[in-house]
Amino acid sequence: MATTFPPAPKVGMVSLGCPKALVDSERILTKLRSDGYQMSPDYAGTDVVLVNTCGFLDSAKEESLEAIGEAIAENGRVIVTGCMGNEAELIRARFPSVLAITGAHQYEDVVNAVHEASPPVPNAFVDLVPEGGLKLTPRHYSYLKISEGCNHRCAFCIIPSLRGDLVSRRIDAVLREAEKLVAAGTKELLIISQDTSAYGVDTRHETRNWKGREVRAHMTDMARELGQLRTAEGQTPWVRLHYVYPYPHVDHVIPLMAEGLLTPYLDIPFQHAAPNVLKRMKRPANEAKVLERVKNWRTICPDIAIRSSFVVGFPGETEADFQYLLDWLDEAQLDRVGAFRFEPVEGAAANALPDPVPEEVKEERYQRIMEKTAAISAAKLQAKIGRILPVIVDEVGEPDEDDGSVGATARSQADAPEIDGNVFLRDTSGLQPGDIVYTEIEDADEHDLFGVPVQEYR
Ligand code: SF4
């Protein structure tokens, strides 16, 4: 006779905020799943709802509060975690019935709170966690967090006060996690932190033994080792570096990109180009020769894609500063650009700076920078028409009603998931999410490419 167990308690999760918060959510869910909880996709029938909040901008806080309110209205049994957990009083004042509030990275506390609110059922199948943990991202790409916190004090940012100073993970732990993820089917690793170039500064680049080699907790050592990983099919997984500041040692990873061991992609949040704005922003690695280095990187690795983000309307930004930024962008020819209008964040040093930029000027500058970067992007994508590029498939569509052909949404090496563009494929019969295929690029618009697969990726 089959043994029956009482049903496992169900946990729902609302995950807000950046990829780093998403990684936290994945860790929490992995632990809960291994404790025997079931995950629930909706509020109904869920024993407890976890809301992982973001407190970075005031608008993000408002979104977090709305999500908490919705979970309380729909389910009633809510635990709050994440960056906004540091503002427990504010949350309690608005939602006195919240069961527990924990801060960012307090995995143990949040898991304990769930145990208390809805105790785990003994004898549940607790060892069913797939290798690589439970993931909120599709199986073929994974975020890998290498450190928490940040040693910088950029004037517009409150992350160091929310998350503390830099704490790097051990290099062997990072590489082991990467290896497990790839063994579990990950084809693309997205390396994240607040400052990837600073990895290991807090541990003085502590050395650990990894597969018989001495490896430092340092971005270049990590990149070299990640370049040795192979998927079950023998492919080199894509490895993308995010949140890189242009310290001198960044130059050392470019040859790895040229050799195909690291994805030719750098996400560098420049935020501005005008020296006096950067100074007022207190940005790290703020040096004048960046343009020269970007040109040099392109000589070594012509296919390198550089993505960045910029803030317009920072206090004291003059028209001349803004024009400097536009001219700089003309020179730098960045592949992907996100722009934001400066927004004061409660607790940020920038709020006390003189000479705020009027809202209508911010808006006008925002429109101008978007126009400029869209034109650069469109020209760069046009130049790719006719080329054959490897792309990774994210999603496969339904067969067309008339001719049965199947389209798919994919990305090139120049496109990180969620933040960059797509490559839309036609005639993709037999492709699965996670497949990497060579594709002939047939068309382009401002942000996306269109193509047809031509052969298997080797
Ligand atoms: S580098 Fe600056 S913007 Fe980034 S987390 Fe650190 S303080 Fe914030």
Question: What pLDDT does 84 receive?
Answer: 85
111 and 224 within one domain:
no
Query: So what's the pLDDT on residue 422?
Result: 97
**189 is in which domain, residue-wise?**
141-382
Q: 242-262 in b/e burial notation, b at 16+ Cβ within 10 A?
A: bbbbbeeebeebbebbbeebb
Mean pLDDT, to the nearest integer, of 170-187?
94
User: For residue 166, with 0-12 CB atoms within 10 Å meaning exposed, 13-18 middle and 19 or more buried, which class applies?
Assistant: buried
Both tokens of residue 351? Answer: 């709020």
Q: What is the DSSP string of 64-102?
A: HHHHHHHHHHHTS-EEEEEGGGGGHHHHHHH-TT--EE-
What's the mean pLDDT in 389-401?
91
* Domain end position, chosen among 354, 382, 410: 382
- Residue 56 pLDDT > 80: no
pLDDT-above-70 percentage for the chain: 93
- Is residue 17 within 8 Å of residue 52, measured between CB atoms? yes
The four Cα atoms 178, 181, 183, 186 give a dihedral, to 10 degrees, of: -110
Two tokens at 312? 């317009």
Cα–Cα dist 63/75, whole Å: 18
Cβ neighbors of 293 (< 8 A, separation 6 or more) are 246, 250, 251
The reply to whether 186 and 105 lie within a common domain is no
Q: Quick one: 77 and 186 in the same domain?
A: no
Question: Which segments within 264-386 are labelled E, that is strand?
Answer: 265-267, 305-312, 336-341
What average pLDDT does the segment 405-433 reach?
93
Q: What is d(CA 227, CA 237) in angstroms, rounded to the nearest whole number?
A: 8
Per-residue pLDDT band for 456 (boundaries 50, 70, 90) equals low
Report if residue 72 sits inside a domain.
Answer: yes
Last residue in a domain, options 338, 360, 382: 382
- Give the three-class secondary structure for 312: strand
Look at residue 88 and tell me whether its pLDDT is greater than 80: yes
Residue 157 beta carbon below 6 angstroms from any ligand 1 atom: yes
By most ligand atoms within 8 Å of CB, the mutation choice from 145, 147, 151, 157 for ligand 1 is 157
Judge whether 134 lies within some domain.
no
324 in the same domain as 222: yes
Residue 436: strand pairing partners: 392
Return the ligand 1 atom nearest residue 282 CA: 2
CB distance 194 to ligand 1 below 6 Å = yes
Bigger pLDDT: 88 or 2? 88
Ligand 1 centroid, distance to 154 Cα (angstroms): 5
Residue at token pair 């990072």: 174
Q: What is the pLDDT of residues 291-308, one digit of tens each?
A: 999 999 999 999 999 999
Q: Is the pLDDT of residue 429 over 70?
A: yes
pLDDT in tens, 253-290: 999 999 999 999 999 999 999 999 999 999 876 666 88
Please choose from 18, 146, 194 the residue to mutate so as to test ligand 1's pocket, defined by most ligand atoms within 8 A of CB.
194
Total tally of structural domains belonging to the chain: 3
Residue 8: C-alpha distances to residues 33, 45, 78 (Å): 10, 12, 18
Give per-residue pLDDT as tens, 356-371. 999 999 999 999 999 9
Region 182-186: mean pLDDT is 92
Is 348 domain-assigned?
Answer: yes
Report the predicted TM-score, pTM, of the whole model to 2 decimal places: 0.80
Query: According to the model, what pLDDT value does residue 364 have?
Result: 98
The band of 132, judged by pLDDT with boundaries at 50, 70 and 90, is: low
pLDDT at position 320: 97
